[in-house]
Amino acid sequence: MAEHEQGIPDMLKAALRSPIPHELRGDLGLGALVIALFLLQVFTGILMSLYYQPSPDAVAESVQYIMRDVSWGWLVRGLHHWSSSALIVACLVHLARAVLAARYRGRAWYWYLGVLATMLVILSAFTGELLTWDNDAYWRVRAILADVETIPLVGPELAAIVRGGSEVSATTLSRTYSAHSLFVPWMVWMLLISSFGLIVRDVRRGKAGGS
């Protein structure tokens, strides 16, 4: 079978059998850690979304319910909270290593995908912090949207889309929740899988390693 006709399982098998260049082992380890922490976020997030209610009147009670009444709910929420910080640190260390080793040189795609994925992970953590929808979160959303409105040309439109009207309301919370639990994680996943795919391809062709 021609090389380009092989399926993903064959490519993976071939990549796993290929020797991994020594200088790439740290990066691959960090990449695997990023993927593992991301999957932990998705897993704990899905468990919480079984009980979390994205409506201003019910949100506080539902978060209390997760912490107090759901078996292991406190642990699941704690894991979601702390692994969010761990994920951001892992992404930043991964990028810092790439900068120090000038790995982006000649393979700019990895670099762009990594920077974009890190920015989106930070956006996920940021939108997650707003989901408690307490007084603090409400005023933070108002302040952020006022800043977004000052972006030339697209600002007012963008703020109106996130706000879902002229005032911060229940629609804003449900849009923030959709962005947090669906749109942004999907985009991060696509970026992580694309970088992984590019690296598997390069290891397989013996092109990975060095800069």
Contacts with ligand HEM, residue ranges (CB under 6 A): 38, 41-42, 45-46, 48-49, 52, 63, 77, 80-81, 84, 87, 121, 124-125, 128-129, 131-132, 180-181, 185, 188
Amino acid in the structure at residue 127: T
- Which lies closer to ligand HEM via its Cβ, residue 30 or residue 208? 30
Nearer CB in complex with ligand HEM: 84/202 = 84
Q: Which is nearer to ligand HEM, 192 or 203 (CB)?
A: 192
Question: Considering beta carbons, is residue 188 or 199 the nearer one to ligand HEM?
Answer: 188
Of the candidates 188, 204, 182, the one whose C-alpha atom is nearest the C-alpha of residue 114 is 188
Spell out a b/e string for 109-119, using b for 16 or more CB atoms within 10 Å of the CB, else e: ebbebbeebbe
Q: Min. distance of Cβ 38 from ligand HEM in angstroms? A: 6
Between 49 and 194, name the residue whose CB sits nearer to ligand HEM: 49
DSSP 208: -
CA torsion angle 163 166 168 169 (round to 10): -90
Nearest CA to 173 out of 87, 70, 57, 76 is that of 57
Identify the CA nearest to 168 among candidates 190, 203, 150, 143: 143
Q: Which helix (H) or strand (E) holds 73?
A: helix 73-100
Identity of the residue, 115 or 125, whose beta carbon is nearer to ligand HEM in the bound complex:
125
Residues 6 or more apart from 47 whose CB is under 8 A from it?
Answer: 76
Q: Are 35 and 196 in contact (CB under 8 A)?
A: yes
